[in-house]
Structure 1
Amino acid sequence: MKRLIIIFSIFCFCLPAMCQGLAFDILDLKEDNDSLLFRYNTLVTPHAVRTGQSLRITPMLESGNFVMALPGVTVLGNNRRRVMKRMKHLPDEYIRTNICSDTVFETAFRIPYKLWMDSASLVVEERLTGYRARTTTTRYRLNNSVSLSTRAPYEVSPVVAFILPDKEVKVRHRQGKAYLDFPVGRSVILPTYRRNPEELSKIDDALRDVMGNSDVTIQGIYIEGYASPEGTYASNDRLSKARAEALREYIVSKFPLNSSLFKVSNVAEDWDGLVELVNASDMAQKEQVLKIIETIGIFDGRESALMRLNGGVPYLLMLKEMFPELRRVEYQVDYTVKDYDLPKTLVVLQKNPADLSQLELYNLAFSSEKWGGDFNRIFVEVIPRYFSDDAVANNNAAAVLIQGGELATAKRFLQRAGQSAAALNNLGVMHLLGGDLEEAESCFAKARDAGCNESIANLEEVKAKRDDNKKQERYKNRK
């Protein structure tokens, strides 16, 4: 019996021939993504084996205790084939030898790649069976290994989650302050007196702006008068009430508004406002002033104690620079805005975005190209401007920022996004992108249990990354 020649074109080695007329040409034995690709040609001549013989060639991968038989070929002589056919023992893959010329048969397959294959070598087993079932087995261990691909770390592709805002009754507020001047002993507003023209003009503009909008309905007008602390409490109480009533009468006389819309109140002495001004100043004895206001009651000599502090110097400073800021009237106009469809929403966005609901802005964003400029701007700039404390608004802004890679800014939004399923998912995405798989998995599991569908896919990303990390540890040792 002659010897079989097996040719490995990739690794440039050969085996001694065992059977004349049969040769292997291995085209691929390599790692390909997550698969092992094994591809080879079998060259068979018309007289590869004798008529009563069969030859089974089985490639194998071996590494330590790991052994995997790979698909091979069987060559049958004519008599052997007829006998096995009668007995219905024909192998699934065999090559007939009653051929008239040299013939090439190609074999190719993929199997899942295992890490132990990194160090595996190729073994070829020949099993020659002749008459009376006499079998001879020969094994050849080759000096090659699997051709390893260059493996870049797995790049995760997590999915962020948005929250659809609830529909709202759009109640809006227009607020302002007026520093009105009154002649001594009078409480009627004189439109041309001192600073009044400028102050009244601001009020007029605000009311005209609201009343001139056909899409809104005024629900109430709130007016509150304030006085500064100097003088008696009783006189300050009368003065602050008179200022508030004077502004109400001015508005009623100038605008066609039902008097039932008005609610008028007053603060006799605006000590809270004074504390804010003192805190914002760099005045001397600042801490002593604040301590007196905090510990001494209004009717227990608070103002007298301030007058005595440091010979009255701090008090005179407040009287001159801070008390005038406390003598004012504040107003607020509450109104509702009708709902808009998409085309009208786009128009209002350009003119008065404060009149849009978060849901209207959300729908407008999703009507544009996702992750495009308008989409991102609405979620990151417009909605947070008018709904800065809303958990839904903060979650959705964070989702857009995460998608854009702005993780530091996204983290600040997520801190105000609450503990919704979507917020937990997006927090998990932050951890995943930062490489903290344990925290990411915990967040995704909680989000999944709370009903977030995106977290299901993200849990698969955690698993894929964890598996890849294990592979990368092995790849570090590759040469």
Structure 2
Amino acid sequence: MMMIRRLYIAPLFLLFFAGNLQAQKTGVQITGSSIELQDDSVHIGFILSAAGLRTDYRMDITPILYTDTNNLYLPAARIAGKSHLRLQARKQALQGKRSENQDNRLAIQTTVAGEPLRYTASVAYEPWMQHASLRVDVQMKGCCRSELLPSGLVAKDIALVVPQATRPEPNIPEPVTVSLSAAELLVQTETFVCPIAEFDSDKATGMFHRDREALRVYFHQNKTVIENGYRDNAVTLERFDKALRILQGDSVARIGKILLVGCASIEGSLQHNQNLAGKRAEVLKDFAVARGVDPQRIEIVNLGEGWDELRDLIAESDSMPYRKEALRIIDTVPIMKGRELQLMKLGGGNPYRWMMKHLFPLQRNAGYIKVYYEKR
């Protein structure tokens, strides 16, 4: 006879706001939460909806069952604006990629902003879950930025009580519950984490700057020291650190490779920029090694001066003066035959000064960070 042990949580209405959005507060609403313990499985359910989410953004929600000593990441959920979904579909069609929910990645429970999502998950019961708590981590992503919203408490000190049986239950076979590894859950929300099978093809492309799924850490001109307050470095490093911790704690998967590509803008001597790009990638390697990553699993590519990226940035610009002339110089003049000098002389130096202000800062980065996991 199957014993049903239940804890019903009074309907919750939780709203977590992003504090720096001035025009309209944005947050996640959770209602109708409940937890049921049936035999050896814990069943979790609640209703998700988004408030004030822009149509070109999405929210990635990760529920976490936790105590002081244990964490269990549940399957992620996603609420996306219609424009964001259309843009992703268009990009995938142009790049010939499969859906982001395919390619060895399990489907995310998803809904369109404005429609509720009935979230459900089942996990195998373990003794530490008695008096555990449940929270959700929320990350908002869109065309212009990625922002971690405050975590929200769904239930605290959950007591999975065994009530007296009132009537016998029919002998129905239990459904098979798929147990996901931490790595498989992580790739649902972090696109810079990939299966090891993708490593060789990613490295072979060479055009690392076109990969929008990779992480980037930016540096000031002629610097190799990471500053958390510069651009989005703080959020980027937090995501990188979190991925490393999750993979190192996974009993099924582990870090197979980390690919770091260093890059520099073109101003200055070629040899100096080559050294600068290499040191920027080494700084990210030190960051990973300090967190327990085996140095032999880290591969560095020194891209040196980012001429391919600069050409793409110029081609995409609608406001750069002498744009066509600059593209002609890049396409026809070899680097060692004075390419940069001709750009500096073009139009009395105005195009070069414009690039120094608008384009070169985008190239001063450890230009590519991707983490690849493999089975233990």
Shared fold (TM-score, shorter chain, > 0.5): no
- Of Structure 1 and Structure 2, the greater strand share is in 2
TM-score, length of structure 1 as denominator length? 0.32
- Of Structure 1 and Structure 2, the greater helix share is in 1
TM-score, length of structure 2 as denominator length? 0.41
Larger RCO, structure (CA 8 Å, separation 6 or more)? 2
Query: Who wins on radius of gyration, i.e. which is larger?
Result: 1
